[in-house]
Amino acid sequence: MPLVPESHRDLLDADVATLATVGPDGTPQLTEVWFLRDDDEARPVAISLSTARQKTRNLCRDPRCALLVLDLAVPQRYLEIRGDAEIEPDDEYLFADRFGAKYGADLRAFDPPGATRVVVRIRAERINAVDMRRHG
């Protein structure tokens, strides 16, 4: 099981990351997402997604994904987590409420009528912790 190295653990507390999913035609779809650090080493991040969104439908159809967290202060440094999404229902918004607290947002306000929430955790198969300042 790959682990996030200590040198890049601070990026797990960043505000925004880029989530890559596989679209219906096989092309990548990139979306900026909010996320939370998860205590599970095998699944270091968790995301709350609406079932009304294309990225959620992509992950339900094909769980392969990647999450990229860029260090905004030092753009030569980033963390990439590749793996498969594990999706759990969050019909009662229990995780969504905890998730929204980080961002001062009520996620219900973002969801169209009839949509529900899911918790997405990425089971890490590969972790790339890059710091280009250390090369060259």
Distance CA 92, CA 73 (A): 36
Three-state DSSP at 21 gives strand
Average pLDDT, the chain: 94
Which tens digits make up the pLDDT trace of 27-81? 999 999 999 998 888 899 999 999 999 999 999 999 999 999 999 999 999 999 9
What do you get for the CA distance between the two ends of the chain, in Å? 29
Kindly state the percentage of the chain with pLDDT values over 70: 98
CA torsion angle for 2, 76, 72, 99 (degrees, to 10)?
A: -10
Three-state DSSP at 12 gives helix
Assign a CATH topology to domain 6-134.
Answer: Pnp Oxidase; Chain A (2.30.110)
This prediction has a pTM of 0.93
Average pLDDT over residues 101-119: 95
